[in-house]
Amino acid sequence: MVIDYAIRPAEPADAHEMAKVHVGTWRETYRGLMSDAKLDDPGLLNWREKFWSAALTDPRFDQNVAAVASHEGSLIGIAMSGPSLDVPGVPKQLYVLYTYSAFHGSGVGTALLDAVIDRSSPALLWVADPNPRAQAFYRKHGFLTEGKVKVEDGVREIRMVRVIDGADTPKESFP
């Protein structure tokens, strides 16, 4: 699929539209994995907007990098990375990467990932399990299942890591 899209750094004025993408993509992705009560909560959009407003303005999040993807004037994807919260020695963690399913396979997800984490940087992320499409996407970008599991908001997640050696290839084991 070939589409015109633009990737740019997120700005505080994007918070509401980013929240809409976040909620919409959660509903597409997590229906059946997350409770319907959570996904259909009328306060979910407001909660996500507060999250994005803080993420884009609060000095506590100055080390985070957020990006948005747009198509024909509307946001279609969001991403954010920051310092690793989990593992010393892995400097970056991908916190958020969502695109509407209509844009899967278009290159938008790759462009967003590259906008928030350099391809040659070690990084980690948590991904829903089961979510074979997302897990395959991350494997394609050098992330390997590491073995750690957690449950958040009723969703089982597995940790994936990308550890780069001198040849820019993923290592099989975590430092």
pLDDT score of 165: 66
Per the model's pLDDT, the better-predicted residue between 30 and 85 turns out to be: 30
The CATH code for residues 6-162 is: 3.40.630.30
- Residue 96 in this model has a pLDDT that exceeds 60: yes
Query: Tell me: the pLDDT tens digits for 118-137?
Result: 998 999 999 999 999 999 99
Taking only the tens place, the pLDDT of each residue in 24-39 is 999 999 999 899 999 9
Beta bridge partners of 161: 124, 144
The CA angle 80-110-123, to the nearest 5 degrees, is 55
Q: Contact 12/49 with Cβ under 8 angstroms? A: no
Establish how many alpha carbons lie within 13 A of residue 24's alpha carbon, considering only the half-sphere containing its beta carbon: 14
* Closest to 141 in 3D by CA, of 111, 175, 103, 99: 111
Map residue 33 onto helix, strand or coil.
coil
* Prediction pTM value: 0.91
Share of residues in the chain with pLDDT > 70 (%): 93
